[in-house]
Amino acid sequence: MPGYTDCSQPDPRGPLAHTARPCVVPAPAPGVTTISCVGDSITAGGWPQIMQASLNAKYPGKYNVINFGECGSTMQRGADSPYVKRASWPRVLNTSAQVLVIMLGTNDSKDKSDGGVPNWENDGVTGQAEYVADYAWMIEQFKTQIPGGAPDIYATIVGLAPARPPRARARPNPLPSSRDSPSRITSRVCTE
Protein backbone atom coordinates (compact mmCIF):
# COMPACT_ATOMS: atom_id res chain seq x y z
CA MET A 1 0.00 0.00 0.00
CA PRO A 2 1.61 3.31 -1.01
CA GLY A 3 2.63 5.46 1.92
CA TYR A 4 2.97 2.64 4.43
CA THR A 5 5.79 0.36 5.36
CA ASP A 6 6.08 -2.70 3.16
CA CYS A 7 5.66 -6.01 4.97
CA SER A 8 4.06 -4.41 8.02
CA GLN A 9 0.92 -5.42 9.75
CA PRO A 10 -0.29 -3.72 12.93
CA ASP A 11 1.25 -5.46 15.93
CA PRO A 12 -1.35 -5.90 18.71
CA ARG A 13 1.37 -5.18 21.27
CA GLY A 14 1.85 -1.62 19.98
CA PRO A 15 4.16 0.29 17.63
CA LEU A 16 7.33 -0.36 19.65
CA ALA A 17 6.75 -4.11 19.97
CA HIS A 18 9.82 -6.03 18.87
CA THR A 19 8.26 -8.83 16.91
CA ALA A 20 9.90 -11.97 15.70
CA ARG A 21 7.57 -12.18 12.70
CA PRO A 22 9.91 -12.02 9.73
CA CYS A 23 9.10 -10.01 6.67
CA VAL A 24 8.84 -12.53 3.89
CA VAL A 25 10.12 -10.88 0.77
CA PRO A 26 10.19 -13.13 -2.27
CA ALA A 27 13.65 -13.68 -3.66
CA PRO A 28 14.15 -11.43 -6.66
CA ALA A 29 14.59 -12.93 -10.08
CA PRO A 30 18.16 -13.24 -11.32
CA GLY A 31 19.52 -9.84 -12.31
CA VAL A 32 17.14 -7.90 -10.02
CA THR A 33 18.77 -5.69 -7.37
CA THR A 34 16.99 -5.37 -4.01
CA ILE A 35 17.16 -1.97 -2.29
CA SER A 36 16.06 -1.82 1.36
CA CYS A 37 15.05 1.62 2.67
CA VAL A 38 15.37 2.19 6.43
CA GLY A 39 13.97 5.33 8.02
CA ASP A 40 11.27 7.20 9.89
CA SER A 41 7.91 8.61 8.71
CA ILE A 42 9.56 10.39 5.79
CA THR A 43 10.56 6.95 4.49
CA ALA A 44 7.30 5.26 5.50
CA GLY A 45 5.44 8.09 3.78
CA GLY A 46 6.56 7.11 0.36
CA TRP A 47 9.98 8.12 -1.03
CA PRO A 48 10.86 4.43 -1.59
CA GLN A 49 7.73 4.09 -3.74
CA ILE A 50 8.84 7.13 -5.74
CA MET A 51 12.29 5.55 -6.10
CA GLN A 52 10.70 2.29 -7.32
CA ALA A 53 8.58 4.14 -9.89
CA SER A 54 11.59 6.12 -11.14
CA LEU A 55 13.75 3.01 -11.42
CA ASN A 56 10.94 1.11 -13.17
CA ALA A 57 10.60 3.92 -15.72
CA LYS A 58 14.29 3.85 -16.60
CA TYR A 59 15.23 0.22 -15.81
CA PRO A 60 12.07 -1.91 -15.97
CA GLY A 61 12.24 -5.07 -13.85
CA LYS A 62 15.80 -4.46 -12.65
CA TYR A 63 15.16 -3.15 -9.10
CA ASN A 64 12.99 -4.15 -6.15
CA VAL A 65 12.68 -1.36 -3.55
CA ILE A 66 11.43 -2.34 -0.08
CA ASN A 67 10.11 0.30 2.34
CA PHE A 68 11.16 -0.41 5.95
CA GLY A 69 10.16 3.04 7.25
CA GLU A 70 8.86 3.26 10.83
CA CYS A 71 7.01 6.44 11.79
CA GLY A 72 8.55 8.34 14.69
CA SER A 73 11.68 6.23 14.86
CA THR A 74 15.12 7.49 15.84
CA MET A 75 18.69 6.45 15.09
CA GLN A 76 19.79 6.81 18.71
CA ARG A 77 19.26 3.72 20.82
CA GLY A 78 18.83 5.91 23.93
CA ALA A 79 16.13 8.13 22.39
CA ASP A 80 12.37 7.77 22.78
CA SER A 81 11.70 5.51 19.78
CA PRO A 82 14.80 3.66 18.53
CA TYR A 83 14.52 2.06 15.10
CA VAL A 84 16.28 -1.02 16.46
CA LYS A 85 13.30 -1.65 18.77
CA ARG A 86 10.77 -1.45 15.95
CA ALA A 87 9.21 -4.35 14.07
CA SER A 88 11.14 -3.55 10.88
CA TRP A 89 14.58 -4.00 12.49
CA PRO A 90 14.64 -7.83 12.38
CA ARG A 91 12.79 -7.74 9.07
CA VAL A 92 15.40 -5.63 7.31
CA LEU A 93 18.14 -7.86 8.73
CA ASN A 94 16.40 -10.86 7.14
CA THR A 95 16.40 -9.49 3.60
CA SER A 96 19.19 -10.15 1.15
CA ALA A 97 19.41 -6.56 -0.05
CA GLN A 98 22.33 -5.61 -2.25
CA VAL A 99 21.73 -1.91 -1.49
CA LEU A 100 20.55 -0.33 1.76
CA VAL A 101 19.55 3.31 2.20
CA ILE A 102 19.34 4.80 5.72
CA MET A 103 17.42 8.01 6.39
CA LEU A 104 17.11 8.50 10.13
CA GLY A 105 17.68 11.60 12.24
CA THR A 106 14.65 13.84 12.02
CA ASN A 107 13.15 12.53 15.27
CA ASP A 108 16.57 12.50 16.93
CA SER A 109 16.65 16.30 16.76
CA LYS A 110 13.83 16.79 19.30
CA ASP A 111 14.80 18.22 22.69
CA LYS A 112 13.17 19.54 25.85
CA SER A 113 13.85 23.20 25.02
CA ASP A 114 11.62 22.85 21.96
CA GLY A 115 8.87 21.26 24.04
CA GLY A 116 9.73 17.81 22.73
CA VAL A 117 11.11 14.66 24.21
CA PRO A 118 14.77 14.69 25.27
CA ASN A 119 16.33 13.14 22.16
CA TRP A 120 19.18 15.64 21.67
CA GLU A 121 20.37 16.67 25.11
CA ASN A 122 24.13 16.01 24.73
CA ASP A 123 23.96 14.45 28.18
CA GLY A 124 25.78 11.18 27.54
CA VAL A 125 22.48 9.43 26.74
CA THR A 126 21.32 11.36 23.67
CA GLY A 127 22.97 13.91 21.43
CA GLN A 128 25.60 14.30 18.76
CA ALA A 129 28.12 11.75 20.06
CA GLU A 130 25.45 9.10 20.60
CA TYR A 131 23.89 9.77 17.18
CA VAL A 132 27.20 9.29 15.39
CA ALA A 133 28.09 6.20 17.47
CA ASP A 134 24.69 4.61 16.92
CA TYR A 135 24.85 5.37 13.18
CA ALA A 136 28.21 3.60 12.96
CA TRP A 137 26.83 0.71 15.05
CA MET A 138 23.79 0.33 12.75
CA ILE A 139 25.97 0.34 9.63
CA GLU A 140 28.14 -2.37 11.18
CA GLN A 141 25.05 -4.48 11.94
CA PHE A 142 23.92 -4.23 8.33
CA LYS A 143 27.41 -5.04 7.05
CA THR A 144 27.70 -8.17 9.18
CA GLN A 145 24.14 -9.50 9.54
CA ILE A 146 22.44 -9.14 6.14
CA PRO A 147 22.27 -12.60 4.52
CA GLY A 148 24.31 -12.87 1.36
CA GLY A 149 26.99 -10.39 2.41
CA ALA A 150 27.37 -6.72 3.14
CA PRO A 151 25.13 -4.49 1.01
CA ASP A 152 26.22 -1.16 -0.43
CA ILE A 153 25.07 1.28 2.25
CA TYR A 154 24.03 4.86 1.63
CA ALA A 155 23.27 7.39 4.35
CA THR A 156 20.89 10.19 3.44
CA ILE A 157 20.12 13.38 5.31
CA VAL A 158 16.94 15.41 5.22
CA GLY A 159 17.73 18.82 3.80
CA LEU A 160 16.99 21.94 5.80
CA ALA A 161 14.52 24.49 4.49
CA PRO A 162 16.15 27.75 3.36
CA ALA A 163 14.26 29.78 5.95
CA ARG A 164 14.01 28.51 9.51
CA PRO A 165 11.12 29.38 11.83
CA PRO A 166 12.09 32.20 14.21
CA ARG A 167 12.12 30.00 17.35
CA ALA A 168 13.97 27.07 15.79
CA ARG A 169 17.55 26.50 16.87
CA ALA A 170 20.14 25.21 14.47
CA ARG A 171 21.88 22.05 15.66
CA PRO A 172 25.29 20.98 14.51
CA ASN A 173 25.00 18.29 11.87
CA PRO A 174 27.34 15.43 12.79
CA LEU A 175 26.94 13.82 9.38
CA PRO A 176 28.53 14.98 6.15
CA SER A 177 26.99 17.50 3.84
CA SER A 178 27.09 17.61 0.07
CA ARG A 179 29.92 20.16 0.43
CA ASP A 180 32.18 17.54 2.04
CA SER A 181 34.70 15.66 -0.03
CA PRO A 182 34.10 11.92 -0.56
CA SER A 183 37.12 11.06 1.60
CA ARG A 184 35.81 13.21 4.45
CA ILE A 185 32.37 11.60 4.16
CA THR A 186 33.90 8.13 4.32
CA SER A 187 36.01 8.93 7.34
CA ARG A 188 33.11 10.56 9.21
CA VAL A 189 30.34 8.05 8.56
CA CYS A 190 31.68 4.69 7.47
CA THR A 191 34.49 2.75 8.99
CA GLU A 192 35.72 -0.19 7.05
Looking at every residue in the chain, the average pLDDT score rounds to 76
Q: What is the count of structural domains for the chain?
A: 1
Is 90 part of a structural domain of the chain?
yes
How close are the terminal C-alpha atoms of the chain, in Å?
Answer: 36
The whole-number pLDDT of residue 112 equals 85
Task: Give the span between the Cα atoms of 46 and 51, in whole angstroms.
Answer: 9
Per-residue model confidence as pLDDT tens digits over 24-82: 566 667 899 999 999 999 999 888 999 999 999 999 999 999 999 999 999 999 999 99
Residue 65: strand pairing partners: 35
Burial of 115 (0-12, 13-18, 19+ CB in 10 A): exposed
SS3 175: coil
- Supply the CATH number for residue 92's domain: 3.40.50
Is 105 part of a structural domain of the chain?
yes
Q: Is the pTM of this model over 0.85?
A: no
Q: What's the domain range around 38? A: 33-189
Is 71 part of a structural domain of the chain?
yes
Is 102 part of a structural domain of the chain?
yes
Is 28 part of a structural domain of the chain?
no
Q: How far is CA 85 from the centre of its chain?
A: 13
Burial of 165 (0-12, 13-18, 19+ CB in 10 A): exposed
Is 42 part of a structural domain of the chain?
yes
* Percentage, residues of the chain above pLDDT 90: 48
